[in-house]
């Protein structure tokens, strides 16, 4: 009994114990559950509270949890159940997955990936993933955190971009700390200042970047202004790493903190070297002639101005010499422009030698040079300079195969003693003198003298007198024969006007024709001459001795050529005087033709159609080219006296005359040599192919009665007999004209 009771009690106790255990276990379990629930709550609360996105993945990548923050970062994508359809940049996802696969063994992976939100926005995130494993080491999956760093990234990439831009600019950009040490420099600055291209800068004082002579100014002017006003801007010279200086424009800015103290300075510096170079070039162009590198007119006028001031103070004088190459255009045209340029440079060089160190040489125009002499006492020094110029030009200039003799005409003006004048007035005077030199046959220098100024006054008086000269019947017409160089007979005459002034006597055409042109009186005078010449031609045409017809040349001025009535007037005058058009020739100077080429060509064409002969007068003086002749309906060319002058003395005039006659022959033009005074010239003219000659050798211009008797004798036995050598050379012409019209002979 006892044993069974004992067993029962034991069983009971065991039951009780088990019951209690169970009860206790349940309680414990409940407590644990409660505990766990609390922990879960805390975890959930924490994971929602942290600013990081959190997630958990199963071993196969299934997403088992994401917190609210991660949903926000990802832009609340729908239906995402696995890492494989998470809204990641595809490239980044692959990279991430392969990192995980590799990192399976490892415990964690950190990287940066881009999230592609459903709304299209991209976010940069830092991802930190840890592997979860159980006690046996079997993978349970992963947990990870995600930080949105987009704002930071933007800032950084903006910074990178900005520094890339700064490095790309050619401007030099540096930052300085408040003590003036360079802390940052862009690529250009590092290169030009010789700082390390990469990496940090060793402390360098910014003042060392400036040229030594600028440093004081930067410290005392630029920095204080930047501090006071926030910014300083100016031009300054920097010193580059190789020691050279670079002109720059610079902006220096003081950047302040909130408490107004200077945080740092920045300096933006622009290289001005190229700009300076261009400026210098422009400045040169303003002051220098590009072809010869000589000072130009502007430079010269300034120099005369300064010279005048100085010399007036010191009681000395200034001399200005205008030198003009004689017949430059002709040489230019016959040899070509390249040769012309070469010649100009050679002449410039010789003038430079003549000028020496004391005279300033400048180039004014195509073939015009100007020299300035200071501190002269009188006109001796400038005259000597003019002589030196002549000496320098004595030797021919060789251009290609040609040797060319160049002469210049020079006009000299000397400033009045103690008196004041202006550069313009001096140049005007020199120009007047130059004109006189040209008038007197070129290759000479003329000094401006007061009489040239009186000349102006005289001209005024002459103009007044000219007005009444026509009515006062003060004009006469004289005629100068032209001789055919093949037959020795007079075939033409040139009508030349003479003015018999009641008080001044005979006034040479040179003194009144230009004036008559200026005042327009030439139209009346010219027409009067034409009427007289036609009257005379009519008389001669009916003369018994005149079987072959005599051509009468009349000079036509530029003004007349521009006159709309000219052609009608010539036509009606021919009819009125019953003169055949082919008995009349009209001479137009080359310069008049060039004045207004279009008008000239139109008038010439109409006159030519009338049947009147036309000649280009003074050929070679007017800068027209030989080829220009082709375009003109002319019959004859009168080679200017200055070329004929040179024939006897050799030189390049022969070549020029030969070129003219050659061209004229090709164009079927008659060539007339003007101003033949010597047998040598006559022989040369003939040899060079001139058809006719006119000059004192045969006869000076003579009154009609005298010419009539000359013509009578010429048509008889012949006036001018050739004594011809076997080679066809004319040795002499006999008999010489009996009497020269001395009054008409220019005093040269
Ligand atoms: P031009 O037409 O060239 O006339 C030729 C000039 O050369 C004339 O001067 C003549 O006297 C001069 N002469 C002729 N043979 C010789 C010579 O062997 N040696 C030298 N040294 N000279 C010689 P002139 O008569 O004094 O006339 C000068 C200029 O005045 C003329 O040059 C012409 O341009 C102009 N002229 C004269 N009469 C008239 C006219 O009726 N109308 C116009 N528009 N101009 C005229
Ligand atoms: Ca003439
Ligand atoms: Ca002439």
Domains and CATH numbers, the chain: 49-148 (3.30.450.20), 169-275 (3.30.450.20), 286-448 (3.30.70.270), 474-715 (3.20.20.450)
- Beta carbon of 551 within 6 Å of any ligand 1 atom: no
Q: Are 113 and 95 in contact (CB under 8 A)?
A: yes
Strand partners, 56: 65, 143
User: How many CB atoms lie under 10 A from the CB of residue 549?
Assistant: 13
> Ligand 1 pocket, 696 CB below 6 A?
yes
Q: How far is CA 141 from the centre of its chain?
A: 80
Question: Residue 718 has what pLDDT?
Answer: 65
For position 736, what pLDDT does the model report?
A: 42
* Residue nearest ligand 1's atom 25 by CA: 496
Q: Are 441 and 352 in contact (CB under 8 A)?
A: no
Sign (positive or negative) of CA dihedral 640, 524, 534, 745: negative
Share of the chain above pLDDT 70, in %: 92
Pocket test for ligand 1, best of 509, 521, 638 (most atoms within 8 A of CB): 509
Indicate which atom in ligand 1 lies nearest the CA of residue 587.
2
Which residues, 6+ apart, have CB-to-CB distance to 593 below 8 Å?
A: 561, 600, 616, 622, 624, 632
Least confident among 53-57, 280-284, 326-330, 680-684: 326-330
pLDDT at 579: 96
Q: How does pLDDT run across 554-595, given as a tens digit for each residue?
A: 999 988 988 889 999 999 999 999 999 999 999 998 877 766
Q: Which residue has the tokens 């009468």?
A: 552
In angstroms, rounded to a whole number, what is the distance separating the alpha carbons of residues 40 and 144? 17
Cis peptide before 472 (omega within 30 of 0): no
Q: Is the CB of residue 622 below 6 angstroms from any atom belonging to ligand 1? A: no
Mean pLDDT is lowest, of 8-17, 455-464, 473-482, for: 455-464
Token output for 687: 């040899």
C-beta 497 within 6 A of ligand 1: yes
Q: Is 59 in the pocket of ligand 1 (CB under 6 A)?
A: no
Going from the Cα of 472 to the center of ligand 1, the distance in angstroms, rounded, reads 23
How far is ligand 3, taken at its centre, from the CA of residue 665, in Å?
Answer: 20
CA 545/CA 607 separation, integer angstroms: 29
Ligand approaching nearest to the C-alpha of 746: 1
Is 70 exceeded by the pLDDT of residue 708?
Answer: yes
Taking CA atoms only, the protein residue closest to ligand 1 atom 12 is 675
Q: Which residue has the higher pLDDT, 515 or 153?
A: 515
Report pLDDT for 748: 34
Protein residue whose Cα sits closest to atom 6 of ligand 1:
675
Q: Which residue has the higher pLDDT, 329 or 520?
A: 520
**Other Cβ atoms within 10 Å of 744 Cβ, number:** 18
- Return d(Cα 97, Cα 563) in angstroms, integer: 102
642 Cβ inside 6 Å of ligand 1: no
> CB of 334 closer than 6 A to ligand 1?
no
CA 496 – ligand 1 centroid, Å: 6
CA–centroid distance, residue 494 to ligand 2 (Å)? 7
Q: Is the CB of 650 under 6 A from ligand 1?
A: no
Atom of ligand 1 nearest to the CA of 516: 44
Q: What is the mean pLDDT of residues 635-660?
A: 85
53 within ligand 1 shell (Cβ under 6 A): no
- Phi, psi of 535, deg, nearest 5: -55, -50
Q: What is the mean pLDDT of residues 440-461?
A: 76
User: Pick from 190, 656, 697: which is nearest to 483 by CA?
Assistant: 697
The per-residue pLDDT for range 109-119, each reduced to its tens digit, is 888 888 988 88
State pTM to two decimals. Answer: 0.50
Residue 677 CB–ligand 1 contact under 6 Å: yes
pLDDT averaged over every residue in the chain? 86
Separation between Cα atoms, residue 511 and residue 515, nearest integer Å: 7
- CB of residue 746 inside a 6 A radius of ligand 1: yes
**pLDDT the model gives residue 642:** 87
Span 591-637, pLDDT tens digits: 777 666 777 888 999 999 999 999 999 887 765 566 677 888 999 99
Residue 716 has pLDDT above 60, yes or no: yes
């Amino acid at each position: 009994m006892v044993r069974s009771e004992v067993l029962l009690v034991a069983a009971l106790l065991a039951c009780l114990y088990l019951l209690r255990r169970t009860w206790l276990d349940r309680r414990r379990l409940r407590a644990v559950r409660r505990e766990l629930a609390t922990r879960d709550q805390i975890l959930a609360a924490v994971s929602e509270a942290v600013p990081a996105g959190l997630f958990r993945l199963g071993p196969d990548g299934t997403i088992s949890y994401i917190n609210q923050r991660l949903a926000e970062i990802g832009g609340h994508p729908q239906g995402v159940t696995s890492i494989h359809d998470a809204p990641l940049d595809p490239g980044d996802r692959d990279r991430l997955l392969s990192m995980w696969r590799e990192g399976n063994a490892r415990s964690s992976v950190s990287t940066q990936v881009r999230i592609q939100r459903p709304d299209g926005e991209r976010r940069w995130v830092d991802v930190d993933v840890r592997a979860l494993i159980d006690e046996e080491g079997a993978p349970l999956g992963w947990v990870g955190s995600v930080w949105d760093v987009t704002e930071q990234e933007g800032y950084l990439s903006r910074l990178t971009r900005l520094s890339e831009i700064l490095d790309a600019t050619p401007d030099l950009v540096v930052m300085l700390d408040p003590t003036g040490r360079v802390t940052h420099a862009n690529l250009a600055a590092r290169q030009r200042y010789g700082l390390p291209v990469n990496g940090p800068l060793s402390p360098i004082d910014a003042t060392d970047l400036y040229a030594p002579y600028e440093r004081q100014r930067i410290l005392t002017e630029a920095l204080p202004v930047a501090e006071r006003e926030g910014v300083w801007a100016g031009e300054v010279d920097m010193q580059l790493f190789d020691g050279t200086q670079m002109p720059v424009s610079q902006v220096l800015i003081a950047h302040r903190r909130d408490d107004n103290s200077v945080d740092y300075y920045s300096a933006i510096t622009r290289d001005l070297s190229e700009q300076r170079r261009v400026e210098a070039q422009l400045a040169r162009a303003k002051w220098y002639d590009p072809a010869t590198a000589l000072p130009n007119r502007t430079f010269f006028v300034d120099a005369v101005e300064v010279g005048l001031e100085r010399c007036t103070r010191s009681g000395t004088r200034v001399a200005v010499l205008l030198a003009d190459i004689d017949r430059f255009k002709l040489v230019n045209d016959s040899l070509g422009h390249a040769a012309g340029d070469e010649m100009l440079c050679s002449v410039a060089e010789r003038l430079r030698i003549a000028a020496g160190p004391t005279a300033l040489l400048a180039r004014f125009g195509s073939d015009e040079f100007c020299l300035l002499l200071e501190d002269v006492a009188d006109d001796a020094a400038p005259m000597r300079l003019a002589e030196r110029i002549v000496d320098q030009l004595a030797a021919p200039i060789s251009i290609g195969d040609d040797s060319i003799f160049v002469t210049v005409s020079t006009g000299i003006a000397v400033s009045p003693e103690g008196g004041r004048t202006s550069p313009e007035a001096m140049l005007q005077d020199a120009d007047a003198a130059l004109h006189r030199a040209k008038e007197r046959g070129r290759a000479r220098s003329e000094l401006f003298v007061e009489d040239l100024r009186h000349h102006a006054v005289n001209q005024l008086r002459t103009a007044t007198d000219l007005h009444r000269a026509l009515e006062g019947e003060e004009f006469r017409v004289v005629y100068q024969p032209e001789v055919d160089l093949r037959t020795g007979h007079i075939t033409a005459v040139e009508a030349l006007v003479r003015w018999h002034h009641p008080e001044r006597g005979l006034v040479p055409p040179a003194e009144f024709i230009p004036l008559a042109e200026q005042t327009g009186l030439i139209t009346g005078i010219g027409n009067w001459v034409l009427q007289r010449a036609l009257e005379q031609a009519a008389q001669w045409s009916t003369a018994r001795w005149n079987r072959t017809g005599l051509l009468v040349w009349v000079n036509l001025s530029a003004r007349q050529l521009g006159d709309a009535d000219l052609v009608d007037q010539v036509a009606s005058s021919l009819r009125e005087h019953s003169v055949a058009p082919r008995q009349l020739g009209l001479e137009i100077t080359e310069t008049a033709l060039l004045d207004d080429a279009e008008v000239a060509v139109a008038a010439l064409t109409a006159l030519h159609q009338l049947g009147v002969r036309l000649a280009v007068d003074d050929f070679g003086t007017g800068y027209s080219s030989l080829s220009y002749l082709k375009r003109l309906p002319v019959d004859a060319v009168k080679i200017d006296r200055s070329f004929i002058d040179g024939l006897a003395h050799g030189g390049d005039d022969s070549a020029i005359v030969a070129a003219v006659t050659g061209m004229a022959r090709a164009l079927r033009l008659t060539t007339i040599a003007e101003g033949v005074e010597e047998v040598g010239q006559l022989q040369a003219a003939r040899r060079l192919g001139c058809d006719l000659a006119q000059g004192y050798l045969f006869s000076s211009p003579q009154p009609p009665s005298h010419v009539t008797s000359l013509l009578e004798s010429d048509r008889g036995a012949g006036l001018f007999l050739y004594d011809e050598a076997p080679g066809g050379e004319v040795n002499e012409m006999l008999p010489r004209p009996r009497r020269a019209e001395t009054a008409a002979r220019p005093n040269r």
